[in-house]
Amino acid sequence: MEDADRQLELDVYMRAFTPDAARRRQEAMLERMRELRDRGLVEAVSVTRWSNQVSVSRVRDREQPVGVETYRELDDATDGTELSIEPFFRERSGHEADRTVLSLPVLCVAIRRAGEITGVYPCSAPDGSYSVTDCLDALAAGDDVENVTDEVVLDPEPV
């Protein structure tokens, strides 16, 4: 195995309560991830379960439900790139003025290297969207899955 700072880790986020068909799909995807770990293609797989929607306080120092900090971290990771976590995460106004409602995806993967997010699935890009299945297929094939960089994507044509 390579040094720990070079190994990929998969942080998996799954809805806790899903219909049977969605739950079976989640479990099949999780099994694929564990197989990738067993083959040495990823260092670790961690799983966090969340709800389908959470009420989010607009006051950042208040305790937030599971998923909110992950949402903010993924949103920050894709900021300045051509990627977006919308429409997979959706935020809308809540009934109370200081709250919003955040819809969370059925399955989400954050790829980390040395603790930093280097990949986000699902995500949308100008050329389409990329699913968790796309990520796992690429990992199994030995292809690059790190789609988040620190570089700001610039418009190639002068204004």
Domain boundaries, the chain: 4-141
Q: Whats the size of the chain, residue-wise?
A: 159
Contact 23, 15 (CB under 8 A): no
Separation of alpha carbons 100 and 22, rounded Å = 26
Give residue 156's identity as a one-letter amino acid code.
Answer: P
Q: Does the structure show a pLDDT above 90 at 74?
A: yes
Cross-sheet strand order for the sheet of 44-50: 44-50, 8-15, 107-113, 116-121
Tell me the per-residue pLDDT of 21-58, one tens digit each, with 9 for 90 and over.
Answer: 999 999 999 999 999 999 999 999 999 999 999 888 76
Beta bridge partners of 23: none
Query: Which residues have CB under 8 Å from 31's CB, separation 6+?
Result: none
At residue 78, the pLDDT reads 95
Instruction: Choose among 102, 85, 78: nearest CA to 151.
Output: 78
Query: Which residues have CB under 8 Å from 88's CB, separation 6+?
Result: 105, 108, 122, 123, 124
At residue 157, the pLDDT reads 44
At residue 158, the pLDDT reads 42
Which helix (H) or strand (E) covers residue 141, if one does? helix 132-141
**Average pLDDT of the chain, as a whole number:** 86
Give the predicted TM-score (pTM) of the model: 0.84
Degrees, nearest 5: CA angle 95-98-99: 55
Least confident of 49-58, 110-119, 148-157: 148-157
Tell me the per-residue pLDDT of 11-26, one tens digit each, with 9 for 90 and over.
Answer: 999 999 999 999 999 9
Q: Does the structure show a pLDDT above 80 at 152?
A: no
Q: Does the structure show a pLDDT above 60 at 105?
A: yes
Least confident of 46-50, 66-70, 149-153: 149-153
At residue 50, the pLDDT reads 93
Q: Which residue has the tokens 């700072």?
A: 5
Degrees, nearest 5: CA angle 125-136-12: 85
